[in-house]
Structure 1
Amino acid sequence: MTDVRAEAARRVELVFTLFDANGNGVVESDDFDLMTDRVLKVAVASDETARAALRASLRRYWTTLAAELDADGDGVITVEEFRPLVLDPARFGPAVAEFAEALSALGDPDGDGLIERPLFLGLMEAIGFERANVHALFDAFGPDAEDRITVATWDAGIRDFYAPDLAGIPGDRLVTLPAA
């Protein structure tokens, strides 16, 4: 039996590390700007509407985090302040949904509803995920014969990643290295 709470806790620890894009041990507004820049550098084929949607989604994510989790109002979020994120998704559902939609759309610059592995890898690595884990995630999404997944599959996978009541999901492959 899978420990749902433990898997959710591992996901939240990883997300904190990723959101701390500059690696200074806290999450702050500049981290979201840095992450946005890294992701958009990979999304060169995306149109300005998709790029703006990602910028807006990450800005909303930061403002939601700051409003909900910056307990002492110092403009930074510590890991202790951050841990409730995945464990209380009702507070963050709209921000997660907006981010999921924006990121998955960046993976489909030609609008065919499909995301090819190379762009998926680039976007996920720009966020900070490990390459082997990203490959494992893409494989878990069940790519077609041309090595593509649907936008809807990735969108749902992002939302599931933030759900504390789910375990054994494809996104759990991002937390630990796949077995060799």
Structure 2
Amino acid sequence: MGELLDWKYERLFSLLDANSDGVIAQDDFTLMAGRVLEATGEQRTAKGEAYKGAMMNYWLSLRQTADADGNGRVDKNEFRSALRRVSVDFDTLIGPLYQAGFRLADRDGDGLVARQEFTTVLVAIGVPATQAESAFDGLADQDGRLTESRLMHAAGVFYRDENPDNSASHLLFGAS
């Protein structure tokens, strides 16, 4: 794995380890989903339920692929070695979480996410506000809006691409 992918996977691991105990487990996904739903006010809505379901599907896919020792937890080494395999199936294993997150952020259902909507979700998952705003600015169109297709493309690049020229996608979850 190249340096850039390693850095991105390290960043993603730190976010997915929502309780900061050094491993990723189901409780991290439950905690993160709760934070996002509280921040967006979608705890008891169909969009909220879809998001929680997508979070659990992501966890189950990750666990199935990465939990080499079968202990129900994924450490950094297991995560790094498995994420490249999971990202090959991005559209079916990872993509649905990003689609559900986009739809959650799209408060009015118009197919566009504004800066505040986007940053609310990213801050809830642990990205500092200034970095979430910078990520949005790099991904948004010239009118300052984000479409689902732009987000899906950026997420795919985040998981798979090692070209440093795609900086907006690489910084999807902040720079640190």
TM-score normalized by structure 2?
0.87
- The gaps in structure 1 that reach 5 residues or longer are none
Equivalent residue for 1:102, pick from 100, 103, 123 = 100
Equivalent residue for 2:27, pick from 26, 30, 50 = 30
| Structure with larger RCO (C-alpha < 8 A, sep 6+) | 1
Equivalent residue for 1:48, pick from 36, 40, 45 = 45
Q: Does 1:69 align with 2:52?
A: no
- The gaps in structure 2 that reach 5 residues or longer are none
Equivalent residue for 2:132, pick from 131, 134, 144 = 134
Shift of 1:93: 4.4
Q: Which residue of 1 aligns with 2:113?
A: 115
Shift of 1:150: 2.0
Aligned CA-pair RMSD: 2.2
CA contact (8 A) 1:57 1:95 kept: no
Q: Distance in 2 between matches of 1:84 and 1:93?
A: 19
Aligned-pair identity (%)? 28
Q: Distance in 2 between matches of 1:62 and 1:90?
A: 16
- Seen in structure 2, the aligned counterparts of structure 1 residues 47 and 28 have a Cα distance that, compared at 3 Å, is closer
Q: Distance in 2 between matches of 1:57 and 1:140?
A: 25
TM-score normalized by structure 1?
0.86
Q: Which residue of 2 aligns with 1:176?
A: 175
Letter in 1 for 2:47: A
Greater displacement, 4-13 / 86-95? 86-95
CA contact (8 A) 1:39 1:126 kept: yes
Q: Deviations over 1:15-73 (max 9, x none)?
A: 11111000000001100000000011122269822211111111011111111111111
